[in-house]
Structure 1
């Protein structure tokens, strides 16, 4: 097996981390770190008619929440990102009619189960599908944390299972390198297409030492650039608990490194593992900056879902810097709130700025966003303002048949100039809104679940029992599991 044994630490030679495990004692739960954005507030359409955000295809929050509930604990509110809960599941969105536009755009409107006065607007995107034979060749660098903090059974052993499963899915013309790091950083496996060599290298991974994550990222990017495939997939897949404690470990500094490196065309997928010392805020943050995605792996089944069943969407980007902007017509909408996406919000002027980084969509990826909106004639969430000039004025308004306009900007891979898609939402859909049912009902149930776990005050008294009824029954394994998790949350609340 072609194995390189040169290791780097601050520019000097050192040995690759050895095969003798030195497990550290379990780490206290309090060391887990989450960014924890505040729930977004209500917006008046007369003040802020435009809402802009970057898409998010991460799913890490959902599987991490699942880990807490399966352990018999409620997750900390800061660990819950509602948009990742919603986007964990697939919905019945239409396939794109052609690949000239890489994704379809659809909208649905329903009443709100927890608020009789408001309505729910769902925006759904679905990328076109590709199978393994259609996607470009892949130049992958497995970047594996083998520090002492990875010694527990839910970390490095699960990493090894994940990477072995991924190796089984690769094509004969793909090639893989493996970079490992603990107190030192080394290239364990030079680029190869031999699946047996990849599996042998993965099998010999052992955990010990401290964690030099910053230096490891630099070596991984350097390796990916050296073997760059023009018109191919060039991606780092980093497996870690994020507990960097040697060298560059500050989240903002690591983001700067990754932001600079992404200009080379190399993307970054972050896979999080374990309990006790998870740096969720670091892993999710640098994956966003690295034009990649973040998933939390709590089981071999989740590993198979992310890097087996969804391998093409994980690896093959079909649209970059995807932004959504919606402008509400005050003739029909009084107030609104975006459910989730708090750490993806953009300034209005960022929408047309092609230099602003945003989310990427892979083949087959779906993106769902939910807005809770108040019709113009409802009493609304917010009190009436005192001075007439500060109040909603229905006269002098145009576009009476439109409730809102939705715009999307995206770039095709490798292009600098964005493309625009615009859709109008008709005003009469407000009057036609019915109770959510079927696919829409399940999406709303997941949104309510995330809000309930976050302590979202706008959910009122709507509880886990209501969510269970709204979710309905399904033959889909993942939707069945959601109902079980909701039951666990009900029992633990």
Structure 2
């Protein structure tokens, strides 16, 4: 498992929650007002047959009850005004952005991220095969955006390039009916930041069935109500996010709620989605306070999800937390082993991260990757809508399990290569054919993109320096003229144990002569990849600048009906003035 980095605390902390969520209200109208009022507009708990379980989930000690009651008795706090010296904020992604020079940024000292070095450059003569797991997580993009909205650059370990690229949907062709669950698109174009290299794009897209054709969903909301969630961008935002999800559910779907603080308890037994008022009432009873028994919460949520499974349905635990587990069952290795064992039950996992300052991204990734799950970071109501409304099929319904990709490069055509991102998803070559090795799942309507940068054979420059004593690469087989590489994909139909194999050659016919001739999706994904590399220090993009990224993204924005690509361009502009944690090209 990759290491973990604990980053030092900056010296100028601030409470950015109100600022971020106030901006969300500008984009979400009256819903944003609900987010702002949520911290002090709690409904009083009502007596029910589950009173004991609810009290267990909400508090840990009589002292915690007294503190919660005292908090409820306080008058509503006033949002902090912007300092007079700061110009009028610019609204971006539903949140205001303020020039970094005038902004004291929020402390990130306790945020934890998995540590993984950039993928190395491989010589094809030494390492012709590259193997990795599919990744549909987008949490890294949300963390990056939250940092830039606070006027600071994200720490390099927070950047996972594939999650930035896969945050966006691309117009790849959908699979034919009764075919494999996803279609594949391969393309090659010159690299905009290196005249000696080329980019290979691998694109996958799954079909999105009609809403009525989706199986019944048995959902268990596992909600962190510990004291660390007592912030405007945590529990109040979490509640509003789940309100949005409820609007997408079908009559045959059910919802249960497990909450945890110092201990865990069932707040709501499985309830039909048609009883929305009852579900919302249970959500409103939740208050933040106490320590964090996240491990026990996981146990109870999985038990409830497994007990509610029926033939033809899907059971999923949706964990919403900042990841600050600190009581009882807390060791990352133990938690990872637990969700690994639960894979056999057929219950899947979605992880939604909230807040800054003590966000444990390393734990979130470990749970999502080992629990047949996906991970997103919710920093605004706009993002909650994207994950839980616009992409609800991809978030909740798996159509291909244990998806592995393997690319074998032809040494007669390719000198060296590097895979952009997927560092935490790397697999050994022998893992590809081993159906016991777990890999990522792809949901309904998902697109997955992977980019390789490679140097054609015979090019003096490129990604690596020439070797003095290297021999002539072997000739390409006569049966495969013009083949640059060969792509293999393995996947399982959900519920099955044996994988299926898809194979496709990568040929010169898939290449375009100029980067400008590549399709808009290719060019936009390239802009995002370049942005990720620059945020990590610019090791591979060299003199390619943020202004180049912004110009490229603008030229490839395309239709962008949801506005996500336009918002990305705004983030690139913010990065040019953000407070750096390390020097970046400007």
If the length of structure 2 is used for normalisation, what is the TM-score? Answer: 0.80
Counterparts of 1:78-477 in structure 2, within 5 Å, are 78-193=157-272, 194-379=275-460, 380-387=462-469, 390-395=470-475, 397-398=477-478, 399-429=480-510, 432=513, 434-435=515-516, 436-473=518-555, 474=557, 475-476=559-560, 477=563
Q: CA contact under 8 A between 1:123 and 1:369: conserved in structure 2?
A: yes
The CA distance in 2 between the partners of 1:168 and 1:21, in whole Å, is 31
Partner of 1:16: 57
1:256-296 alpha-carbon deviations (Å, 9 max, x no partner): 01000111000000000001000001001111111110000
Secondary structure of the corresponding residue to residue 448 of structure 2: strand
Aligned to 1:4: 50
Contact preservation (8 Å) 2:484, 2:508: yes
What displacement does 1:229 show?
2.1
Name which of structure 1's ranges 155-164 and 249-258 shifts more when overlaid on structure 2: 249-258
Q: CA 1:69/1:294 → structure 2, altered by over 3 Å: closer, same or farther?
A: same
| CA deviation vs aligned residue, 1:37-92 (integer Å, no higher than 9, x gap) | 11111000011111000000000100110010011110000000000000000111
Residues in 2 aligned to 1:6 and 1:404: alpha-carbon distance in whole angstroms: 61
1:119–1:430 contact (8 Å) kept in structure 2 = no
- Residues in 1 aligned to 2:533 and 2:56: alpha-carbon distance in whole angstroms: 48
Distance 1:22-1:115 versus aligned 2 partners, 3 A rule: farther
1:485 alignment partner in structure 2: 571
Runs of 4+ with >2 A deviation? 1-8, 18-23, 26-29, 380-387, 390-401, 427-437
Counterpart for residue 11 of structure 1: none
Cα RMSD, aligned residues only = 1.9
CA distance in 1, matches of 2:107, 2:551: 37
Instruction: Assess if the C-alpha contact under 8 Å between 1:213 and 1:249 holds in 2.
Output: yes
- Equivalent-residue separation in structure 1 for 2:476 and 2:571 (angstroms): 50
The equivalent of 2:155 in structure 1 is 76
Q: State the partner residue of 2:96.
A: none
2:24 aligns to what?
Answer: none
Q: Displacement, 1:385?
A: 2.6
Find the residue that maps to 2:167 and give its secondary structure: coil
Q: Is the 8 A contact 2:329 2:335 kept in 1?
A: yes
Seen in structure 2, the aligned counterparts of structure 1 residues 328 and 133 have a Cα distance that, compared at 3 Å, is same
Give 5+ residue unaligned stretches, structure 2. Answer: 1-45, 60-64, 72-104, 581-586
Return the offset for 1:5: 4.1
Q: RCO (CA 8 Å, sep 6+): is it higher in 1 or 2?
A: 1
Where 2:243 maps in the other structure, the secondary structure is helix
- In structure 2, relative to structure 1, the CA distance for the partners of 1:378 and 1:205 (3 Å cut) is same
> Aligned partners of 2:297, 2:342: CA distance in 1, in Å?
13
Counterpart CA distance in 1 for 2:472 and 2:510 is 21
d(CA) in 1 for partners of 2:57, 2:169: 42
CA distance in 1, matches of 2:472, 2:284: 65
Deviation, 1:110, is 0.7
Q: Decide whether aligned partners of structure 1 residues 321 and 3 sit closer, same or farther in structure 2, where only a CA change above 3 A counts.
A: farther
Gapped regions of structure 1 (runs ≥ 5): 9-13
TM-score normalised to structure 1 length: 0.94
DSSP 3-state at the match of 1:30: coil
Distance 1:459 1:356, change over 3 A: same
CA distance in 1, matches of 2:381, 2:70: 24
Evaluate the alpha carbon distance shift between residue 78 and residue 3 of structure 1 in structure 2; reply closer, same or farther with a 3 A threshold: farther
